[in-house]
């Protein structure tokens, strides 16, 4: 990174230059750790056919009307934020009749140019698996057809060199063994117990996605996990940010970090302050329409790791 490290003591008091400093790629938080942003590469899907016609998680209620144009507008804001942060975005076209395709995080899990495909739990989403695999193939990723039910990065989070893998509602634990063998990395199984937090990315946020250090930090909602998984998280991540039930309950953890800038649900104000206290730069976005399908920032974002 060529951006200079900012020394808070010598920062100007001027509000405008402070704002531009906040935009800078690095800062020095009170803890003394430097936060470093780096450009990321994401796959997104504009929600041109977004609606809620079935219920496969407690957030969804087909009786509540949705507004596709609002969904598109909110999604566009997220897209524009990523672009302004310097991230590269690929797009997959939404297929009419597959309203959940906007949640691209579920479309696979990509590391080192290898795309492990998704195999969805619910029949309503099953056609998305092949659609995403086709996209990966056309874009020169090495596609691996999955043997076990799994919902991609919704349940698999790369934290440093380690993979945290969720199960309980969607991904089968057999997929955890499959990705351990495929990627040759440590895979830690975590069991989700609250149906509102049915994917791992609704209960854990990866804050430092850039490092190989397994102590890279996370934020999480303890009550979403069984006792054994909570103990595992406490042991592996003693410095994790523990979010409140309030912030967790609006999918505040469903966020995307580039190591410094963390795009979060605007309503997660407690989490926002916790991030600031740790030297991150939280950026709030309103995805209320997409929340009607049970997804937030992270759900709409699949990381493409070349």
Where on the chain is the footprint of ligand ARG (CB under 6 A)? 56-57, 60, 100, 103, 105-106, 125, 154, 199, 201-202, 293-295, 299
In the complex, least distance from residue 216 CB atom to ligand ARG, rounded to whole angstroms: 20
* 170 versus 267: smaller Cβ distance to ligand ARG: 170
What does residue 226 show for φ and ψ, rounded to 5 degrees?
-75, 170
Phi-psi category of residue 50: left, alpha or beta, with phi > 0 → left and psi -120 to 50 → alpha: beta
In the complex, least distance from residue 253 CB atom to ligand ARG, rounded to whole angstroms: 10
In the complex, least distance from residue 162 CB atom to ligand ARG, rounded to whole angstroms: 19
The three-point CA angle 92-266-255 to 5° equals 50
In the complex, least distance from residue 157 CB atom to ligand ARG, rounded to whole angstroms: 10
DSSP-assigned letters across all residues of 40-105: -EEEE---TT----S-SSTT--TTS---HHHHHHHHHHHHHHHHHTT-EEEE-PPPTT-GGGG-GG
* 154 versus 284: smaller Cβ distance to ligand ARG: 154
* 60 versus 275: smaller Cβ distance to ligand ARG: 60
Neighbours of 213 (CB within 10 A): 12
* 106 versus 189: smaller Cβ distance to ligand ARG: 106
Closest CA to 285 of 259, 243, 258, 254: 254
Q: Which residues contact 260 (CB under 8 A, 6 or more apart)?
A: 25, 26, 27, 35, 36, 37, 280, 281
Closest CA to 305 of 169, 175, 210, 173: 210
Q: How far apart are CA 147 and CA 178, in angstroms?
A: 8
In the complex, least distance from residue 169 CB atom to ligand ARG, rounded to whole angstroms: 9
Please, are residues 288 and 297 in contact by the beta-carbon 8 Å criterion? no
Closest CA to 302 of 120, 73, 136: 136
In the complex, least distance from residue 106 CB atom to ligand ARG, rounded to whole angstroms: 5
* 100 versus 178: smaller Cβ distance to ligand ARG: 100
Closest CA to 240 of 216, 224, 264, 270: 216
DSSP-assigned letters across all residues of 214-234: TT--EEE-GGGB-HHHHHHHH
* 202 versus 217: smaller Cβ distance to ligand ARG: 202
Active-site positions? 199, 299
């Amino acid at each position: 990174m060529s951006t200079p490290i900012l020394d808070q003591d010598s920062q100007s008091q001027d509000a405008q230059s402070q704002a531009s400093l906040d935009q800078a790629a690095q800062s020095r938080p009170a803890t003394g750790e430097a936060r470093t942003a780096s450009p990321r590469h994401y796959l997104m899907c504009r929600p041109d056919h977004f609606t809620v016609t079935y219920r496969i998680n407690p957030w969804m209620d087909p009786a509540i009307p949705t507004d596709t144009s609002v969904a598109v507008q909110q999604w566009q804001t997220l897209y524009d934020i990523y672009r302004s942060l310097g991230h590269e975005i690929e797009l997959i076209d939404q297929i009419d009749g597959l309203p959940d395709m906007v949640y691209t995080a579920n479309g696979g899990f990509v590391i080192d140019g290898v795309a492990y495909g998704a195999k969805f739990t619910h029949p309503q989403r099953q056609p998305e698996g092949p659609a995403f695999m086709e996209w990966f193939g056309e874009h020169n990723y090495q596609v691996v057809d999955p043997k076990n039910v799994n919902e991609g990065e919704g349940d698999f989070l790369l934290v440093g060199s380690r993979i945290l893998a969720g199960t309980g509602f969607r991904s089968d634990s057999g997929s955890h063994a499959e990705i351990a063998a495929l990627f040759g990395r440590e895979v830690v199984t975590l069991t989700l117990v609250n149906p509102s937090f049915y994917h791992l990315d609704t209960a854990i946020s990866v804050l430092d996605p850039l490092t190989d250090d397994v102590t890279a930090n996370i934020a999480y909602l303890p009550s979403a996990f069984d006792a054994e998984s909570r103990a595992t998280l406490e042991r592996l991540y003693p410095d994790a940010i523990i979010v409140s039930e309030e912030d967790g309950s609006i999918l505040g953890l469903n966020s995307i970090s580039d190591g410094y800038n963390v795009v979060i649900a605007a309503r997660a104000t407690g989490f926002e302050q916790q991030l600031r206290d740790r030297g991150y730069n939280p950026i709030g976005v309103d995805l209320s329409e997409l929340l009607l399908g049970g997804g937030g920032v992270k759900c709409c974002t699949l990381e493409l790791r070349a």
